[in-house]
Structure 1
Amino acid sequence: MKPAIAVTTGDPFGVGPEVALKAAREPAVLEVCRPLLIGDRQHLRGVALGLPGATVGDPAAWPEVSKSPFGWGSKQGDDILVESWPSGPAIHDMADRPEPPSSPGPSAAGGRSSVMYVKQAVGLVRSGAAAAVVTAPLSKEAMRLANVRYPGHTELLADLCGLEPDEVAMLFLTRELKVALVTVHLGLKDAIASLSSALVESKLRLIHSEHRRLFGGDPRIAVCALNPHAGEGGLFGAEERDILRPAVEAALGTGLNVAGPFPADTLFVRAARGEFDVVLALYHDQATIAVKARSFGSGVNMTLGLPFVRTSVDHGTAYDIAGKGIADHGSMVEAILLAARLAGGSPERGTPRGPGGSRPLRSS
């Protein structure tokens, strides 16, 4: 039987429900897995029926795995997954009935629901009821309004698994690049202040071990510099000399294939041409600008270091276009396909297809 993939629908009032519903009906997705959408069934039905034409049909006809919020993959849930849901998409109804905000944007209700869906997905995958987790976008501001004190998905997932934030890493994947991050959801000043040789070295070790486990082979890792021209011998900053080079040398001493630090403006080009397997960026936008400039809408985000496979889209909640039926679900399709390949140990694992791949992505 094809693996069940737990797909959270994200903030109910963003584009998450739309892209999840669309992706769950894609033939390429249904060929490799059984997508289990986690959200409020009534809300998802409203979103689906508001889409132009018969894009996804009526989710009321989809199998319902469980109505019980926070069932945490109960035995009943396992039985339903195995015996009564042989193929196609299904819904895990959280029955939370989120109340729409008065105007488009972050809301406490959206924050509460999106976090609830993530918790349920983690419970299902850790119980064995699902093979992997795929997440639709949530809003950090909505989480704050709901008094949920996590900077984002990465930190929430780490905590649910009993891990510290430094024990996991965000990784962006495109057809040409794999880019991991040292720091994630921090302001630039705080991100720079948090850098240390020990932190960078620990991320290098994590990337090495997780790449071997998930993608096979010993990765060639390149480290981004922080400053222009990699500091130019200390003229433009000392972080390369004092933090990054010691981390690279320590990693080399343990047998890792690591190089750098290299100027970021040329490193991503070198990696895209095949010189390196993974780039380690130091802060959020150093990674995402390069990734999204080359493959926005087809990239995938995943978390390294978790005890299960978790992938996600490469975009945000996009409140401004939610409910209009125009959200591109290409990134969600790629996230589900990658999760299914990695969870199933497929020899094709490891690279979103994207533009120029075996199936061109298109706008909705």
Structure 2
Amino acid sequence: MASHGTPLALTSGDPSGIGPEIAVAAWRLRNEAQVPAFYLLADPSLVAARARAMGLEVAIVETDPAGAKQLFANALPVVPLAASTVDTPGQPDKGNASSIIEAIDRAVADTFEGRAAAVVTCPIAKKPLYDAGFRFPGHTEYLAHLASVKTGTEITPVMMLAGPDLRAVPVTIHISLSEVPKALTADAIIETVRITAHDLRTRFGIASPRIAVSGLNPHAGEGGAMGHEDERIIRPAVEALKSEGIVAFGPLPADTMFHARARASYDAAICMYHDQALIPAKALAFDETVNVTLGLPFIRTSPDHGTAFDIAGQGIARPDSLIAALKLARQLADVEAKTS
């Protein structure tokens, strides 16, 4: 188990995106924004070049995880990667796939071995990885694979968007809207809520989490007048969760779940599909919302935005969401250390 003083492992994501520059910007704001100590897994020369392109003088020191915390106050600690990188801001290159994957692998290994308190990931793009032969749907699925291999247990990851005013969790994620009713099952809802409730207790420090479960259809189906999934799938799932002692309620009409008074009644909202969860989360606090992967045997957070290739290398990317991800990772790690 990592101690309170153990730094966070930050991956720079796709080197052609904004990851390296928001990492530099987050470190530059370490005092003003109270950014917890981290080390960056990246190519030090690329990070230095990106800092120069931003017009910044940044002290960058190559180190290992053990030396990162001591260095952090005066220099950006960078743990070098073995794989080479192609420095082409705004132009994704499949030649960077090896370094992207290596950074993720090493961050996860460091966390399992206690060298890092949590994994924080800058955004990656799927296509360059697919072009290089990457066989996982995305970042989260790969992290779950690494955890499953390490623990010998099949891991089910759950995505949460956590902001200052809302924690929202989609049951189905990256599928078309037309596929959602076919993919939605009571078992999937039950498993998602169980994982969410568990992590709210052990990592967020909420002793008895209150879980609001949305409906799928307008007005939560209005008794079957606008679809049957709410009564046939969602309500039985909620009743089963209640029988387990989980404080869950619903299905609730999604259009009345996210105003301030409604949000005060629950600790997390379980939504039936991607946009039902992400639209309110990002609308309420786009720059402060964090992507948290629940269900993993280690803590993982990430900014809620993508690689932003269109502005990479221009020095205008805001580090707000990354800073929020770093701060939340530290908070979750500290709570977990106390409750374990």
Q: 1:259: how far off?
A: 0.7
Letter in 2 for 1:267: M
Q: How does 1:199-218 map to 2 (within 5 A)?
A: 199-216=188-205, 217-218=207-208
- For 1:317, the equivalent position in structure 2 comes to 307
1:8 matched to 2:6? The reply is no
SS of alignment partner, residue 175 of structure 2:
coil
Is the alpha carbon distance of 1:118 and 1:13 closer, same or farther for their aligned partners in structure 2, counting shifts above 3 Å?
same
Q: 1:218: how far off?
A: 1.1
Q: How many aligned residue pairs are there? A: 329
- For 2:120, the equivalent position in structure 1 comes to 134
- Root-mean-square deviation (CA), in Å? 2.5
> Structure 2 length normalisation: TM-score?
0.89
SS of alignment partner, residue 63 of structure 2:
strand
Q: 1:269: how far off?
A: 1.8
Farther off after superposition, 11-20 or 135-144: 135-144
- Show CA shifts across 1:282-302 (max 9, x none): 222211111111111111111
What CA distance in whole angstroms lies between the structure 1 residues aligned with 2:157 and 2:308? 26
- For 1:41, the equivalent position in structure 2 comes to 44
> Is the Cα–Cα contact under 8 Å of residues 100 and 109 in structure 1 kept in the other structure?
no
What CA distance in whole angstroms lies between the structure 1 residues aligned with 2:87 and 2:157? 33
- For 2:160, the equivalent position in structure 1 comes to 171
Q: 1:257: how far off?
A: 0.6
RCO comparison, higher one (Cα < 8 Å, 6+): 2
Question: Residue 291 of structure 1: which of 281, 293, 300 is its match?
Answer: 281
- For 1:156, the equivalent position in structure 2 comes to 142
Percent sequence identity over matched residues? 38
Q: How does 1:147-296 map to 2 (within 5 A)?
A: 147-162=133-148, 164=154, 167-216=156-205, 217-269=207-259, 273-296=263-286
Q: 1:264: how far off?
A: 1.3
Structure 2's unaligned 5+ residue stretches are none
- For 2:83, the equivalent position in structure 1 comes to 96
Question: Residue 51 of structure 1: which of 27, 49, 54 is its match?
Answer: 54
Letter in 2 for 1:172: L
Letter in 2 for 1:173: A
What CA distance in whole angstroms lies between the structure 2 residues aligned with 1:291 and 1:98? 34
> Is the Cα–Cα contact under 8 Å of residues 270 and 276 in structure 1 kept in the other structure?
no
Is the alpha carbon distance of 1:229 and 1:105 closer, same or farther for their aligned partners in structure 2, counting shifts above 3 Å?
farther
- Show CA shifts across 1:165-213 (max 9, x none): 6x22111111100111212233333343221101101111111111010
SS of alignment partner, residue 39 of structure 2:
strand
1:342 matched to 2:335? The reply is no
> Is the Cα–Cα contact under 8 Å of residues 177 and 272 in structure 1 kept in the other structure?
no
Structure 1's unaligned 5+ residue stretches are 67-76, 348-364
Is the alpha carbon distance of 1:106 and 1:272 closer, same or farther for their aligned partners in structure 2, counting shifts above 3 Å?
farther
Q: 1:118: how far off?
A: 1.1
